[in-house]
Chains A and B, each alone.
Chain A
Amino acid sequence: MAHGPQPGFKRWLYTTNHKDIGTMYLWFSFAMFFLGGIMALVIRAELFQPGLQIVEPEFFNQMTTMHGLIMVFGAVMPAFVGLANWMVPMMIGAPDMALPRMNNWSFWILPFAFAMLVSTLFMEGGAPNFGWTFYAPLSTEYAPPSVTFFIFAVHIMGASSIMGAINIVATILNMRAPGMTLMKMPLFVWTWLITAYLLIAVMPVLAGVVTMMLMDIHFGTSFFSAAGGGDPVLFQHVFWFFGHPEVYIMILPAFGIVSAIIPTFARKPLFGYSSMVYATSSIAFLSFIVWAHHMFTVGMPIAGELFFMYATMLIAVPTGVKVFNWVTTMFRGSMTFETPMLFSIAFVILFTIGGFSGLMLAIAPADFQYHDTYFVVAHFHYVLVPGAIFSITAGVYYWLPKWTGNMYNETMGKVHFWLSFIGLNVTFFPMHFVGLAGMPRRIPDYALQFADFNLIASCGAFLFGASQLVFLFNILRTINGGKKATAEVWEDADGLEWTVPSPAPYHTFATPPVVK
C-alpha cells in the first residue's frame, strides 16, 4: 500500500490502482471517441450533398456500423467505467476497487477487443456492414466473413463489462466507509450501482445473441432461419432485450454526474435526493419491459404493440421526476456558470428534447411513420451526445482539477462548450425535419428535397468534431500545468472526494473516513 506508482510503461500494464485504471479507461474512451468521430465525419462528408461523392455505398455501410459500435462500446461505456474507477472509491471512502487485479483485466481486454474489431476494416469483404444493431439475416446469411471476428470481439468486450460491473457492485456494497449508508451515497455512486446491475443482467444476453449468430453462420443451426422453423424476428427480441437496458447503461451514470454538478454550482443541496434514487431504480426496472418498442413495425400482435407502447410511455414519469429535481435544484440558487455547469444545464435541456422525441417514437401508430427515418437518428443522438457525451465532458471538467491538481482554462472550456453546443444542434436538429419528411437512415444517397438540411447537418458535424480538439488541448494543458487547484476545488462542493488533496494522492482512504 505504501508504494507509489512505478516508473515507465510497466506502471500501466501491471497496475492495480483504481486511479491509474480510471485514467487508462478515460484515455482509451477518448481515443475511440475520435476514431468513431472520424467515421461519423466520413458519413457526414458523403451526405454533404446528394449523389455519391466520396465513398462506395458498401464502405458507407461499414462506416455507419463501426461508428455505432465504437461509440457505444468503445467511447461511452468505457468513459463511464473510467469515471466510476476514479470517483466511486473516493466518493465512498474506499482504499481502491474491491478486486483491483480483475479491474486491470477488465480494462486491458478493451484495447484487444477493439483492435480486433477495427482490424475487420482491412479484411477481405470488409468490416461488418449491417448496422450496429446487426439484425439477422443481414448479419448472418448475408454478412461478410469478418462477422466472426466481430462476434468474438463482442464476446470479450462483454466479459470486460461483466467483470467491471461485478467489481463496481462489490466495491459499492462492500467497501463503503463506516457511516456511509446506502441513502447517504452520492447519486453518481447510486446510478452506477444500478447501472452495474443492468450490465450484469444484459451483457450475457448479448453474448447469447452473438453466439446464436455464430451457430447459424457456421454450424447450421436455425435460430434466425424460417426455413428451419426459426425466426429472424427472434434476433430482434433477444438483441433488444439487451439493447434497451444498454441504452440506460449509457445514460444512468450521466444522471449521477449531473446530479453531482448542478448542486455545486447552484450552491444548494440536490432537490429530492431519495426520489432521485427511486426514479433511477424505476427507470432500470422499466428498461427490461420495453424492448419491443424498437420493433413496432416488424410485425407484432396488437396486444404486444399496446403493451410496449404504454410501458415505454411510463418511463417518462421517473425521467420527469429527475428533470424536475434538477430544475428545482437550480431554482433560486446562487448560480454560476463554470464549464461543468454549462454542460450540465445543456444536458438537462437537450436531453429533455431527446426524451420528448423518444415519447413521440413510443406512440406505436406514429412510429410506423418515423421508424428507420432520420427522426430516429436525431432522437438517439440527442440523448447520446448532449446526454451521455455532455455529461462525461461535464464530469471531466468537474473532476479534472482533482485528478491533475491544476485548474483547466475556463475560457477555453467555455469556448469548447459553446462550439459543441452550437455544433451538435446544427448537426442533429435538422435531422428531425428530414426524418419527418421521410429520409431513411443508413443510406449513402438521398432525394434532392433533403439536400439543404443535410448540408446544414454536415457543417454542424465538422464544427462539433473540430471543437473536441479544443477539449483535447485543454486537457493536455491542464495536465501539464495551470493554476493550482485547492482540495475543495469548487466553492461549495459536497462529497468525500473534495476532502483529499488535489491532485488526489496515489492511494486515498487507506484508513476509511467516518461519515456522519
Chain B
Amino acid sequence: MASESSYYVPEQSRLPIFATVGLGLTAYGAANWVNGNSSYLFMLGSIVLAGVLWAWFGQVIKENMAGLNSDQLKKSYVWGMGWFIFSEVMFFAAFFGALFYIRTFALPWLGGEGDKGSTNMLWQGFEATWPLMTTPDAAVNGDAAKIAGPNAIIDPWHLPLINTILLLASSVTVHFAHVFLKKDNRKAFNWWLFATIALGVAFLFFQVEEYLEAYQELGLTLESGIYGTTFFMLTGFHGAHVTLGTIMLLVMWCRSVFAGHFKKDDHFGFEAASWYWHFVDVVWVGLFIFVYVLGS
C-alpha cells in the first residue's frame, strides 16, 4: 500500500485543549445547575464545546479537501465512527437491560411471586402488573403516596405507529440519498436527504406531542413510578439521539447544498451521519416493540 508512507499526522493543535475546557465547563456547570445553582457555566461550556467541535470538523474537512487524508487515514475515521456507534448501542443496552430486569424479575418479586417474593411483606397489597399503574407506594399509602402511578399510558397504535412509519421511511430515504450520491446525482441526493431531515423533524414533532399528552392528560411522567421512568428515559434518550442525528444530517445537507461538498467516491461525513441515522432507527424499532407494544 503506497498510502502507508504518507499517513497524515497533524501538527500540534489547539482544538483538543479547547474542547477539553468546553467539556469540563459543561460537565461542572451541569452539576452546578442540577444542584440548584445558576446555569451560566453550563451554557458557556456548551457554547465553547459546540464552537470547538464546529472548528474541529471544519479542520478535518479542509484537510480532506487538501488531499492530506490517505485511504488509510479515512479507514481510521470509519473504524472510529463504527465503534462510537457500538458504544452508543451499549448505552441503550443499559436502559433496555434495566427495563427487562424490572419486568422479568424485580416487579414480580415485589408482587410476591417466586424465589424472592418475600419482599412483598414490605408492600402488602401490592400487585405486580405491567404497565405498572399502581406503584407499591400507592398500594400501601393510597392517596398519601409520593410516587403514584400514571392514569393511562400511550396507545402504541396511534402516534407511536405513525412515528415508526416515519422513522422507517427515513432510513429508506437516507439510503436513496446515498445511492444517488454514489451515482453523482447531486440534485436527487439533496432532495432525498432533505426528505430524510423532514421525516426526522416530523418524528420529533410527534414525539413532543406524545410527551405533552402524557404529561398533561395521562399523568404519565418521570415521577409516576417505574413505568414512567423507563418509558421516558428510553424514549427520551432516543429522542435526543434523533435530534443529534437530524442536526448531523442537516449539516451534511448544508455542506452539499451551500458548499458543494462530497464526491461520489469520497463522502464519509455523510456516510457516518447516515450510519448514525440507521442506528437510531434500529433503536426505535426496539423501543416500539419492547416499550410500546409489549408494554401496553
Binary contact readout B255-283 vs A (1 if CB under 8 angstroms, 0 otherwise):
00000000000000000000000000000
Kindly identify, within residues 318 to 360 of chain A, every residue whose CB is under 8 Å from any CB belonging to chain B: none
Interface of B is mostly: helix
The reply to whether A152 and B27 form a contact with Cβ atoms under 8 Å apart is yes
- The answer to the question of B86 belonging to the interface, with a C-beta cut-off of 8 Å to chain A, is yes
Check if B206 is an interface residue, CB within 8 A of chain A. Answer: no
Q: Which residues in B have some Cβ–Cβ distance to A below 8 Å?
A: 1, 4-5, 7, 9-17, 19-21, 23-24, 27-28, 30-31, 34-35, 56, 72-73, 75-77, 79-80, 83-84, 86-88, 90-91, 93-95, 97-98, 101-102, 105-107, 109-110, 114-116, 119, 122-123, 132, 135-137, 145-147, 221-223, 225-229, 232-233
Residues on A with beta carbons closer than 8 Å to the beta carbon of B87: 162, 166, 200-201, 203-204
A-B CB contact pairs (8 Å), 14 listed: A13-B14, A13-B17, A101-B10, A105-B16, A109-B20, A156-B23, A165-B83, A175-B72, A201-B90, A204-B91, A208-B91, A231-B109, A234-B106, A238-B94
Binds B, one of A75-83, A183-191, A209-217, A479-487: A209-217
* Chain A CB within 10 Å, residue with most, of B76, B77, B135: B76
Q: Which residues of A contact B137 (CB under 8 A)?
A: 227-228
**Given A14-B17, A174-B72, are A169 and B79 also a contact pair (CB < 8 Å)?**
yes
- The residues in A between 211 and 261 inclusive whose CB is less than 8 angstroms from any CB of B are 211-212, 214-215, 218-223, 225-231, 233-234, 237-238, 241
Question: For residue B17, which residues in chain A have a CB less than 8 angstroms away from its CB?
Answer: 13-14, 104, 108
Q: Are A512 and B98 in contact (CB under 8 A)?
A: no
Q: How far is the CB of B117 from chain A (nearest CB, A)?
A: 11
Given A148-B35, A155-B27, A178-B4, are A231 and B12 also a contact pair (CB < 8 Å)? no
CA distance A407 to B11 in the complex (A): 31
CB distance B135 to A229 under 8 Å? yes
Closest CB-CB distance, A137 to chain B, in whole Å? 14
Q: Is the beta-carbon distance between B132 and A229 smaller than 8 angstroms?
A: yes
For A203, what are the chain B residues with a Cβ–Cβ distance below 8 Å?
87
Check if A99 is an interface residue, CB within 8 A of chain B: yes
Task: List A contacts of B232 (CB < 8 A).
Answer: 221
Contact between B24 and A512 (Cβ–Cβ < 8 Å)? no
13 further A-B pairs in the complex, CB-CB below 8 A; given A14-B16, A201-B90, A302-B115: A11-B12, A13-B14, A112-B24, A167-B80, A200-B86, A204-B88, A207-B94, A215-B222, A226-B136, A229-B102, A229-B110, A230-B106, A234-B102
Question: A14 to B97, Cβ gap below 8 A?
Answer: no
Chain A residues closer than 8 Å to B228, beta-carbon distance: 221-222
Per the bound structure, the CA–CA distance linking A514 and B56 in Å amounts to 34
Q: How far is the CB of B98 from chain A (nearest CB, A)?
A: 6
From known contacts A95-B7, A151-B31, A222-B147, infer whether A229 and B226 are also in contact, taking CB-CB under 8 Å: yes
Q: Does A282 contact B (CB under 8 A)?
A: no
A-chain residues with CB within 8 Å of residue B30 when the two chains form the complex: 152
Q: Is A309 an interface residue (CB 8 A)?
A: no
A-B CB proximity, top 5 nearest:
A208-B94, A229-B226, A112-B24, A220-B223, A231-B106
How far is the CB of A322 from the nearest CB of chain B, in Å?
26
Residues of chain A lying within 8 A (CB to CB) of residue B19: 105
Which chain A residues lie closer than 8 Å to B132 at the CB level?
A: 229
Pick from B16, B30, B222, B223 the residue with the most CB of A within 10 Å: B16
| Pair A301/B116 contact, Cβ less than 8 Å | yes
Residues in B whose Cβ lies below 8 Å from that of A1:
9
CA distance A207 to B89 in the complex (A): 12
User: In whole Å, how far is A294's beta carbon from the nearest beta carbon of chain B?
Assistant: 16
Shortest Cβ distance from residue B107 to the other chain A in the assembled complex, whole angstroms: 6
A334 to chain B, nearest CB (A): 38
Are the C-beta atoms of A229 and B27 separated by less than 8 Å? no
Residues of chain A in range 150-186 having any CB-CB distance to chain B below 8 Å: 151-153, 155-156, 159, 162, 165-167, 169-171, 173-175, 177-178
- A454 CA to B75 CA, complexed, in Å: 55
A169→B27 CA distance, assembly (Å): 27
Q: Is A204 touching B90 in the complex (CB atoms < 8 A)?
A: yes
In the bound complex, do residue B90 and residue A202 qualify as a contact, i.e. CB atoms below 8 Å apart?
A: yes
Pairwise interchain contact A301-B115, C-beta atoms closer than 8 A: yes
Q: Is the CB of A228 within 8 A of B106?
A: no
CA distance A99 to B82 in the complex (A): 14
**Which residues of chain B are within 8 angstroms of A225 by Cβ–Cβ distance?**
147
Across the interface, A159 reaches (CB within 8 A) one of B23, B35, B147, namely: B23
| Cβ-defined contact, A229 with B227, below 8 A | yes
Residues of B within 8 A of A440 (CB): none
Residues of A within 8 A of B79 (CB): 98, 166, 169-170, 173-174
Min CB distance A414 to B, Å, is: 39
Asked if A234 contacts B101 (CB within 8 A), the reply is yes
Q: Which residue of A lies closest to B236 (CB)?
A: A215
A50 within 8 A of B: no
Inter-chain contacts of A438 with B (CB < 8 A): none
With contacts A104-B16, A203-B87, A222-B135 taken as known, whether A99 is within 8 angstroms of B80 at the C-beta atoms is yes
List chain B residues, Cβ under 8 A from A14.
12-14, 16-17
Which one of A15, A200, A300, A512 lies within 8 Å of B4 (CB-CB)?
A512
| Proximity bits, A96-128, B CB within 8 Å = 1, else 0 | 101111101100110011001000000000000
Given contacts A98-B79, A205-B93, A226-B123, contact A112 B102 (CB under 8 A): no
Given contacts A6-B12, A14-B13, A220-B223, contact A226 B31 (CB under 8 A): no
How far, in Å, is A402 (CB) from chain B's closest CB?
A: 20
Task: Say whether A221 contacts B229, CB under 8 Å.
Answer: yes
Residue A16 CB within 8 A of the other chain: yes
Shortest beta-carbon distance from B236 to chain A in Å:
10
A226 touches B28 (CB 8 A): no
Q: Give the residue name and chain of the A residue nearest to B59 (CB).
A: A101
Docked-complex contact B101 and A237, CB < 8 angstroms: yes
CB distance from B60 to the nearest CB of A (A): 9
User: Contact between B4 and A222 (Cβ–Cβ < 8 Å)?
Assistant: no
> Which of B16, B35, B83, B222 is within 8 Å of A108, CB to CB?
B16
